[in-house]
Amino acid sequence: METRRITVISAGLGVPSSSRLLADQLAASAERQLAAAGYAVDIEVVELRDLAVDIANNFVTGYAAPRLADVISGVEGSDGVIAVSPVFSASYSGLFKSFIDVLDPKALEGKAVLLGATAGTDRHQMVLDFAMRPLFTYLRTRIAATAVFAGPQDWGNNDDGGSPLSVRVDRAAGELVRLLQDSGSQQKPAMLESLPFEQLLAGISGQR
């Protein structure tokens, strides 16, 4: 049985955090749908608030403390990422961006990514398309078409799978699953063979 590894990144600051709640729902739906498709699933949840000091120190020293280094290694080794941030000043949080900045610029290249955001008002939902999606496009990830925003009205006491939020979560997670199913066929480009100059010159001469 093939295994798909997913790193869940939550940039929420509170306890409990609405960003973590959304991240957990997205992860649970993705795990359920991957299992139904016949995959084993390995999910690691990262709470960025627990790494805030290590992330700040990394900028100053250029060195990742062991705990942060383990998280970075986990992200690099994952097949997919679920990334959820609260909205601050009409964008993702500074903590969220700082963590992305300590990653190698190529660490996320080709990975399947599902985006989520939370805020106190629906007026911030465009942050997904105008801030988060461009960021992950720049990092050359494969982004699920559906991103999920959750506002205060989405957190009911009895979410039985029929609420609008649950519908969006399942649709987005399903898109992530399809990207992850394609991960096995993603191949790195073959390295170009370096030929001696004389052989290259001979090849050019032979084409005249």
Ordered structural domains, the chain, with CATH: 3-206 (3.40.50.360)
> At residue 56, what are phi and psi to the nearest 5 degrees?
-65, -45
pLDDT of residue 25: 97
The amino acid sitting at 40 is A
**Which residues in the chain come in under a pLDDT of 50?**
158-159, 185-192
Which two tokens mark 94? Answer: 């500074």
pTM above 0.75, yes or no: yes
pLDDT of residue 185: 45
**Do 127 and 90 form a contact (C-beta atoms < 8 A)?**
yes
pLDDT of residue 114: 98
Which element (helix H / strand E) includes 89? none
